[in-house]
Structure 1
Amino acid sequence: MRTSILKSLKPDIIVEMLGMAVAFENWKKVMETADILYQCVQRIYEERQYHKAMELPIPHVNLERPLVYYFGLSHLMCGMAHQNLGAYEQARDCIYKYAELGWMEDLEGEGLLVVDEFRFLAKTNLYAVDILSGNIELLEEYVAFLQDNLEEILPGLNTILQAALMYHLDVADILHTFAEQIDEFESYEDAENISYYYSYCFHLALYYRKYDRLREAVGLTVQAMHIANQLGNDCNFKRCTALFESLRESATAEQISEYRKVLMQCLDEYETGSHTF
């Protein structure tokens, strides 16, 4: 991308664009936007280093966070996109890039904290990629890691359920281990955790369907539908609808009534203009 274009871009605006692309699970757009963010902050960093070397005043760029954050985020988002597309080697390469951001000069205070945060994220995300790649012998170690880092349990269980579906694993004991924390998932209010909770419900429904716990699968599917509608994610809503229909014969009258209620809520929102399809 031309320097003149890069100079006109604002990193924090690009971060907002990344968030929207992730919300709609447009992984190609996530990778494209993450690359633009990387190029943008790379230009800023190189310009700063040039002015420093020439003993010129450092150009001021209005940023909400330390510059190192944007480097880390660009690699993190690109890795997330590759992981969701099943390209685990490419995801691993991205993880290595934000695992150690200490190469940047003039890191201090908040910048050093950001480096540590990305180092931790790299550790947890490398577990996820390795397990999804088929290294299921890491599961026991990963469970111990989650027990020491409770804030990672929800995304961690998503990884474990996906691996269970991919590699035909029985993870009932792991779910039991985190039963107390699982009871708290529904109370989460921030958008990121709500999104993770949708994924947890949906994948657990698939897992229960596989093991013939069909009524539980139906209940989780309806719960996932509620969340998908709350998030305005029509693609996920359609997935839930398809899953419910595959389980309809096992649904109770109460579950069917709840399912119809969610559908009518969507129709009401469409007719009032508060939701668009």
Structure 2
Amino acid sequence: MEPKLTTIRSEIEKHLSRSGHNLASFAKISGLNRGSLSAILHGNPAKPISLGQLDAMTRAFGFPEGWLYPLYVEECFTDERVSRRRIEPFLVKCAEMGKVQCIEEVLSRLLEYPRPLDIIYRVAERLFSSGKVQESIIFYQLIVENEPDGSSERMAISKYRIFKSLQSTPDVDKEQTLRAVISFEPYRGLLPEEMQLDGLLKLAKICFSLHRWKDVEQFADELRALASGIYREELRRSKGRRSEPFRAERPLVVYYGHGYLLKASALTKQGEYEQAKRYTAGYADLSWFELMDDEGRSSVESFKLFAVANGFTLEMLMGNTSVLPSYLAFLSENPGEILSGMVIIMESANRFGFSADAVIARFSREMLRFEQFQDTINVDRLYRLYYQIAVYYISRNQCPRGIDYIIHCLRLTIRLNSGKDFIDCVTLFEVNRDYASAAQQNAYRELIREVRQHEEITVDDGQRFGIV
């Protein structure tokens, strides 16, 4: 005799019998309707079970949530059809609870039915919009792999969501980031305009972190043009009868201002200082921008601050050291700009040969505070500062002090997993090894030994972040 097949109803009947409840008493403790329970268990055909009813029964039996989920898969495919009302909330709940096996079983069966991507896309969007970004990616990936129309908006949005998920993914390395950029970039123009703005801004910022300056320029140009076009349309709308305003993730002025800021920053990195000045002027005063809320007005003030800071940056990099006293006063009034400002001052001092001793002394206390930074952007800035200080002291025949900073830099390159910077530091140390004390040479050997033991540092990851 064949063993009786275990089904969701046989399990419920079994535990109902063991608990000593009849339908009436179980309906009372579960909060379900007795008639519904009877139709679910004894109907011919049996009434389908909703996910809410299943969860209520699970609680009444005292079992953990998701107890019968593996058996619920069958409930989603009754009568050779897919039940959207059951399958969508079920997939969402399984994703939230991490029930990967249930998800895989449902999806493998779902793909055999007509128009499965409609359901998969709705599930992905529900998860993403509720903040379950990583949980949504498996569904977006299925869209990308199975979407027959490669130029559809659904395909573009799925690519965009996967690309955007980088923000909430820890320990993403340069290679993964570059692959994500290459994968999403061709689809940016297929997105709805509000998503295009955000996609272009993220592309520009990520390419900045990858030192892809020409790509930064291109995306910044596109961002500026798109934001300008939408702004003109919004002004016309505000004067007409259209009542539905344009909605994006951030205020429109944020995208407009970043179109100029990122363009200017990329030009600065390429030594195109005069051009960078022209684009810096583009975001220096955006008070003329209409249709702003409080967040927009706050962003205008931030852009104004960035323009002042980056204006000083350009003057210093062009050798106009007469602005140094004003720059130092600005940094004192804006402590959040001190670290990036000192990087520029030390780079300029090394390039043009002026003394920065007073600058180092003036901000020595702040430099101690910089050691507490843990985020990649500021750790990278700290590395750049220390490297410039090391070069500064060595060039002024204060090699022991410079070597101390090389050792600091080596520690930071290990934290950043930055192979190129590590090689720069090793080269600088070896050139000046004869001036290193026994203690400095021991510290250097220990750091080299640490790297050899772990062998994790990337030879050319180039991970440097932040807009100066």
TM-score, with length taken from structure 1: 0.86
Q: Structure 1: how far apart are the matches of 2:315 and 2:454?
A: 39
Instruction: Using the aligned pairs only, state the percent identity.
Output: 26
- Counterpart of 1:182 (choices 355, 359, 367) is 367
In structure 1, the residue matched to 2:288 is: 103
How far has the Cα of 1:114 moved from its partner?
0.9
Q: Structure 1: how far apart are the matches of 2:241 and 2:417?
A: 51
Q: Structure 1: how far apart are the matches of 2:235 and 2:191?
A: 17
In structure 1, the residue matched to 2:429 is: 244
Change (3 A) 1:83 1:169: same
- Counterpart of 2:229 (choices 10, 18, 43) is 43
How far has the Cα of 1:75 moved from its partner?
1.3
- Counterpart of 2:420 (choices 222, 231, 235) is 235
Change (3 A) 1:45 1:276: closer
**Residue 323 of structure 2 corresponds to residue 135 of structure 1:** no
Aligned length: 272
In structure 2, the residue matched to 1:57 is: 243
Secondary structure at 1:118's aligned position in 2?
A: helix
Change (3 A) 1:81 1:29: same
Change (3 A) 1:49 1:98: same
Q: Structure 2: how far apart are the matches of 1:82 and 1:216?
A: 34
How far has the Cα of 1:166 moved from its partner?
1.2
How far has the Cα of 1:266 moved from its partner?
5.7
Q: Contact 2:189 / 2:196 at 8 angstroms: preserved in 1?
A: no
Q: Structure 2: how far apart are the matches of 1:168 and 1:276?
A: 27
In structure 2, the residue matched to 1:156 is: 341
In structure 1, the residue matched to 2:452 is: 264
In structure 1, the residue matched to 2:169 is: none
How far has the Cα of 1:4 moved from its partner?
5.7
**Residue 220 of structure 2 corresponds to residue 34 of structure 1:** yes
Change (3 A) 1:18 1:226: farther
Change (3 A) 1:206 1:262: farther
Q: Contact 1:225 / 1:240 at 8 angstroms: preserved in 2?
A: yes
How far has the Cα of 1:5 moved from its partner?
4.4
Change (3 A) 1:141 1:128: same
Mark the runs of 5 or more structure 2 residues left unpaired by the alignment: 1-185, 464-468
Q: Structure 1: how far apart are the matches of 2:414 and 2:204?
A: 21
In structure 2, the residue matched to 1:14 is: 200
Which stretch shows the higher mean deviation, 260-269 or 190-199? 260-269
- Counterpart of 1:66 (choices 237, 246, 251) is 251
1:78-99 Cα deviation digits (max 9, x unpaired): 2112222221111111110000
Query: Counterpart of 1:154 in structure 2: which amino acid?
Result: L
Change (3 A) 1:223 1:17: farther
- Counterpart of 2:353 (choices 158, 168, 186) is 168
Q: Structure 2: how far apart are the matches of 1:248 and 1:48?
A: 63
Query: Counterpart of 1:61 in structure 2: which amino acid?
Result: R
Mark the runs of 5 or more structure 1 residues left unpaired by the alignment: none
Q: Structure 1: how far apart are the matches of 2:423 and 2:233?
A: 47
Q: Structure 2: how far apart are the matches of 1:265 and 1:113?
A: 48
Q: Contact 2:204 / 2:220 at 8 angstroms: preserved in 1?
A: yes
Q: Structure 1: how far apart are the matches of 2:321 and 2:453?
A: 41
1:181-211 Cα deviation digits (max 9, x unpaired): 1111111123332221111011111111111
Secondary structure at 1:187's aligned position in 2?
A: coil
Higher relative contact order (CA 8 A, sep 6+): 1
How far has the Cα of 1:172 moved from its partner?
0.5
- Structure with greater Cα Rg: 2
Query: Counterpart of 1:18 in structure 2: which amino acid?
Result: A
- Counterpart of 2:302 (choices 92, 113, 117) is 117
Q: Structure 2: how far apart are the matches of 1:29 and 1:238?
A: 26
Q: Contact 1:52 / 1:58 at 8 angstroms: preserved in 2?
A: no
1:211-259 Cα deviation digits (max 9, x unpaired): 1222332232232233234334443333333323323333332133134
Q: Structure 1: how far apart are the matches of 2:419 and 2:232?
A: 41
In structure 1, the residue matched to 2:393 is: 208
How far has the Cα of 1:262 moved from its partner?
4.8
Alignment RMSD, CA only?
2.8
